[in-house]
Amino acid sequence: MEIILLEHIAKLGKMGDKVTVKSGYARNYLLPQKKALRATEANVAYFEKQRAELEAHNKALFDEANKKAEQLKGFSAVLVRQAAETGQLYGSVTIRDIAAAINESGVALERRFVSLDKPIKYLGIYPVKLSLHPEVSQTILVNVARSTDEAKKQAKAYNNESAPKAEVKAEAPAEAKSETKSKAKAKAEVKVEAQAEDAPAEDAPKKRGRPKKVAE
């Protein structure tokens, strides 16, 4: 089905683009959500007439998404759950739980903005992407622990692992490097001279042995 996009949609196109999608995707999602229109002559004319209004609406959504992305920068959602000694949860953490934790923090967020491939079933810290707008995203941390104290320990360990490692071998100063090279060069020259002294001279006369006396 050919449609005209009423807003920027990831992997499809920008507002005003005509694209072809599967009929089911258009009927079940794009058209009901008013994200697109069938690309008929009447709808194309309607879009051109409403373009300025639609662009203003999209700009407002973009600005709101940027505002939420800034509010959630560095955000970590702590979710306390019961779990076995192996770390497996008695249940799971879902998109609904993550969205609820974000809303409890004071930032209004719908579940559809949370990108989670599958429910979380083990203790630990998980980066979770929030798709706030086709052009705006933010990543938060979901800290799943048995208690708030355990969550703090997990966060500390996670931060230590994520911190950049210090260089084991410090870079030598330029002067030290130059001095080291000079010493190495001097040693090489001494070695070459020593080898030259030990080697037999090409022009030197060869030693002859003393003639043996012949018994008379």
Tens of pLDDT, residue by residue over 114-158, are: 999 999 999 999 999 999 998 899 999 999 999 999 999 999 999
Query: Once rounded to an integer, what is the mean pLDDT over residues 179-195?
Result: 56
Binning pLDDT at 50, 70 and 90, where does residue 185 land?
Answer: low
Which amino acid type is present at position 40? T
Q: Are residues 59 and 108 in the same domain?
A: no
Query: Which has the higher per-residue pLDDT, 211 or 67?
Result: 67
Total residue count of the chain as it appears in this document: 216
Give CA–CA dist 1/23, Å, rounded.
Answer: 5
Q: Are residues 85 and 32 in the same domain?
A: no
Query: Once rounded to an integer, what is the mean pLDDT over residues 5-15?
Result: 87
Give CA–CA dist 16/173, Å, rounded.
Answer: 59
Q: 53 near 16, Cβ under 8 Å? A: no
Binning pLDDT at 50, 70 and 90, where does residue 10 land?
Answer: confident
Shortest CA distance to 26 belongs to which of 15, 39, 16, 14? 39
> Measured at the alpha carbon of residue 71, what is the angle toward residues 70 and 72, in degrees to the nearest 5?
90
Query: Which has the higher per-residue pLDDT, 166 or 34?
Result: 34
Taking the model in full, what pTM does it have?
0.67
Query: Once rounded to an integer, what is the mean pLDDT over residues 185-203?
Result: 53
Q: 5 near 15, Cβ under 8 Å? A: yes
With 0-12 CB in 10 A as exposed, 13-18 as middle and 19+ as buried, what is 120? buried
Given 138, 162, 186, the domain boundary residue is 162
Q: Would you call 143 helix, strand, or coil by DSSP? A: strand
Q: Are residues 42 and 86 in the same domain?
A: no
* pLDDT score at 212: 52
Q: Are residues 55 and 89 in the same domain?
A: no
Give CA–CA dist 78/98, Å, rounded.
Answer: 9
Task: List the CATH number of the domain containing 12.
Answer: 3.40.5.10
Query: Once rounded to an integer, what is the mean pLDDT over residues 165-169?
Result: 52
* pLDDT score at 210: 52
Query: Once rounded to an integer, what is the mean pLDDT over residues 94-119?
Result: 95
DSSP assigned state of 97:
H
* pLDDT score at 168: 47
* pLDDT score at 161: 85
Res 184 pLDDT > 80: no
For the chain, the average pLDDT equals: 83
Q: Are residues 97 and 121 in the same domain?
A: yes
Q: Is residue 181 part of a domain?
A: no
Strand 76-80 relative to strand 2-5, pairing: unpaired
pLDDT single digits (tens) 13-59: 888 899 999 999 999 999 998 899 999 999 999 999 999 998 998 89
Q: Is residue 16 part of a domain?
A: yes
> Measured at the alpha carbon of residue 95, what is the angle toward residues 94 and 97, in degrees to the nearest 5?
65
DSSP assigned state of 35:
S
What is the residue range of 25's domain?
A: 2-63
Number of folded domains in the chain? 2
